[in-house]
Amino acid sequence: MDGTSARLASTLKAEREARGWSQADLATRSGVSKAMISKVERAEASPTAAILLRLAAAFELTLATLLMRTEAQAGRHVPAAEQPVWRDPETGYVRRQLFASPSSPVELVRVELPARARVPVPAASYTFIRQVVWLLEGRLVIEDGAERHALAAGDTYAFGEPADAAFVNEGRAPCVYLVAVSRR
């Protein structure tokens, strides 16, 4: 396991223990199996984006805040070389945390979604945030509840009330988008 996975495992365990929760409590609150939580906390498995989103939501954190706590990143000036980068082991989705700070309600994230990749996002992930997506390159489909929105480069999409969603790249090339998150 790499250093990021080990730090993430430690952060998840610390967040759970700080709340006085057992792994079973976290499993109930997140919908992630106790066995998977145990493997992730021991750094025996790398969590997917979907799992991290469910765990962050259970902690009432955004994914950015969870990853920021993992990387101890919180400055006003964040040099490119210090921006945390995380790769989803399942889809190859690459997430670069451009900005997140406990003192700011705004977060910026750059995502590169590989061709033919689909990242499901549970409604619970949106309970404490609002977000807008700006597609920089390629094509992206956003499934937001029962709605389906096809975005081309330059298009934006603002999520509404929490609903199960998915980011889908149906194309043959990666797409790149910026996500602006505002905490409620």
Residue 68 is predicted with a pLDDT of 73
Q: Percent helix, strand, coil in the chain (nearest 5)? A: 30, 30, 35
Note the CATH architecture for domain 3-69.
Orthogonal Bundle (1.10)
Q: Is residue 35 exposed (0-12), middle (13-18) or buried (19+ Cβ within 10 Å)?
A: exposed
- pLDDT reported for residue 75: 62
The overall average pLDDT reported for the chain is 89
Question: Would you say the pTM of this structure is higher than 0.75?
Answer: no
State which of 4-13, 122-131, 139-148 shows the largest mean pLDDT.
Answer: 139-148
Q: Could you tell me the two tokens for 176? A: 């790149």
CATH of 74-183, one of 3.10.310.10, 3.30.70.260, 3.40.1710.10, 2.60.120.10: 2.60.120.10
CB within 8 Å of 64: residues ≥ 6 apart: 97, 100, 107, 109, 181
Query: How far is 129 from 181, CA to CA, in rounded Å?
Result: 7
Q: What is the pLDDT of residue 104?
A: 75
* pLDDT (mean) for 43-66: 87
> Domain-by-domain residue ranges, the chain?
3-69, 74-183
Percent of the chain with pLDDT over 90: 54
Ranges of beta strands (E only) in 24-145 are 85-87, 94-99, 106-113, 118-121, 129-137, 139-144
Say how far apart CA 77 and CA 123 lie, in whole Å: 32
- Tokens representing 2? 């790499």
Q: How far apart are CA 117 and CA 102, in angstroms?
A: 31
pLDDT at 5 over 80: no
